[in-house]
Structure 1
Amino acid sequence: MRARDILSRPVVTVRRDTPLSEAVALLTGHGFAALPVVDDGERVVGILSESDAMAAIESGREGSVVGVAMRTPVQVVGPTAEVPEIVKVILDHHRRSLPVVEAGVLVGIVSRRDLLRALARDEQAIESRVCSLLDDYSGSHRQWDVEVAGNTVTIRGICADETEQRVLAAMTRTIAGVEDVQIVDTAAL
């Protein structure tokens, strides 16, 4: 999954000369974590986070403009950035959201919430596909429990033998997004 699949738009933005009080009203009124700061060509020139706004107000600059409080340089991602890459940037740089730019122009924003939704949806979708595949294989007699964590699928239940374990693992690996399969034969426990 890529940034273009999960980004939010349209993006509420501010300019360098936007009064800080107006930007704070946008942050608090809409529940945004940050606002991209753009120029006249919609190119990202900075970002104003909740913490940037708080620091500016705390230091007595609440009557100033966004340009005084915004953070630069800005970490951005392109629309084709993969979710794991976006997660890494957000975690490594302690960001709650990242602007998405194409050819330098703002096209959307990805928040931690967008990422969590995508990751949860991916795991649920994989689990559903695995269960359906295993139900088809077993004649709709649900005999295994399926758990998905990231791209790893764990199948728990009774298997006839090692050959069936290999078959289950091979079938499961055919599902997009599955990288590793763990088979836990509960009869052997």
Structure 2
Amino acid sequence: MRVRDVMSRPVVSVRRETPVSEAVSLLTTHGFAALPVVDDRERVIGIVSEADAMGALESRKGSSVVEVAMSTPVEVVEPTTEVSEVVKAALDHHRRSLPVVAAGVLVGMVSRSDLLRAFALNEGVIEARVYSLLDDYAGSHRGWDVEVADSTVTVRGACADEAERRVVTAMIRTIPGAGDVRVVDTARAGAGE
């Protein structure tokens, strides 16, 4: 399972000139552990955690801007990073949340809660969600075989054409916990293709 499967989005972020009081309000209102600090190009330049905000308030810098309170450098992860790697980093470095960047641009946040939810999604739950999604898409009259192993979803069934195979693949990728997706068109496979 990869970070893209469990990360939270859209992301609430702040800029270095954001007042600390506004950052505190965002942290407490939304229940976030930290907020990424981004520049004008949405690149992560810092992070302001609950601890950073409390430190700024205690030292009377609470009336200042986030730049004074934020922590740098920032550890970030990519959407393709394995969840197991993020769990290790979160535990080893006592991180409650990490910004997720693609090509240097902020695209999500992954928190300990997101990671816990990922572990709670077992293969049976993912399989049930795939069957439900396929039934909604094509009705229960279509015969699909679904197998989930190590977050890899394999679906076997007859597809009308290559476009339908791609649509089914894309739909399954929206399911939390679904990693790699393979759709095997049994009609074509049976025809020797």
TM-score, L = length of structure 1: 0.66
Q: Does 1:176 align with 2:152?
A: no
Give a deviation string over 1:45-87, Cα, whole Å, max 9, x none. 0000001100111111111100000000011000100010010
- When residues 176 and 16 of structure 1 are mapped into structure 2, their CA distance, relative to the original with a 3 A threshold, is same
Q: How does 1:34-73 map to 2 (within 5 A)?
A: 34-73=34-73
Q: What one-letter code is carried by the residue in structure 1 that aligns with 2:48?
A: L
Residue 109 of structure 1 corresponds to which residue in structure 2?
109
Secondary structure, aligned partner of 1:37: strand
Identical columns (%): 70
CA contact (8 A) 1:126 1:177 kept: no
CA contact (8 A) 1:2 1:79 kept: yes
Contiguous gaps of at least 5 residues in structure 1: 129-173, 179-189
Q: What one-letter code is carried by the residue in structure 2 that aligns with 1:177?
A: D
CA contact (8 A) 2:75 2:98 kept: yes
**Distance in 2 between the 1:80 and 1:126 partners?**
19
Q: How does 1:29-178 map to 2 (within 5 A)?
A: 29-122=29-122, 125=125, 176-177=149-150
CA contact (8 A) 2:76 2:99 kept: yes
Residue 17 of structure 2 corresponds to which residue in structure 1?
17
Give a deviation string over 1:14-49, Cα, whole Å, max 9, x none. 000000000000000111110000000000000000
What is the CA distance between 1:126 and its match in structure 2? 8.4
Residue 190 of structure 2 corresponds to which residue in structure 1?
none
What is the CA distance between 1:176 and its match in structure 2? 1.4
**Distance in 2 between the 1:110 and 1:18 partners?**
22
How many residue pairs get aligned? The number is 133
CA contact (8 A) 1:15 1:66 kept: yes
What is the CA distance between 1:89 and its match in structure 2? 1.1
Give a deviation string over 1:92-123, Cα, whole Å, max 9, x none. 11111111001100010111111100101136
Which structure has more relative contact order (CA 8 Å, sep 6+)? It is 2
**Distance in 1 between the 2:77 and 2:26 partners?**
23
**Distance in 1 between the 2:30 and 2:67 partners?**
21
Secondary structure, aligned partner of 2:15: coil
* Aligned-residue CA RMSD (Å): 1.9
Who wins on radius of gyration, i.e. which is larger? 1
